[in-house]
Amino acid sequence: MHEMALCEGIIGIVEEEARKRAFAKVNVVCLEIGALSHVAPEALKFCFEAVAARTIARGARLEIVETPGTAWCMDCSRSVEIRQRYEPCPSCGGYHLQVTGGEEMRVRELEVD
**Interface with Zn ion (CB under 5 A):** 73, 75-76, 89, 91-92, 94
What is the closest distance, in whole angstroms, from the C-beta atom of residue 102 to Zn ion in the complex? 17
Alpha carbons 98 and 78: distance in angstroms, whole number: 11
What is the closest distance, in whole angstroms, from the C-beta atom of residue 77 to Zn ion in the complex? 8
Residue with Cβ nearer Zn ion (16 or 75): 75
What is the closest distance, in whole angstroms, from the C-beta atom of residue 34 to Zn ion in the complex? 20
Tell me how far apart the terminal alpha carbons of the chain are, to the nearest angstrom: 31
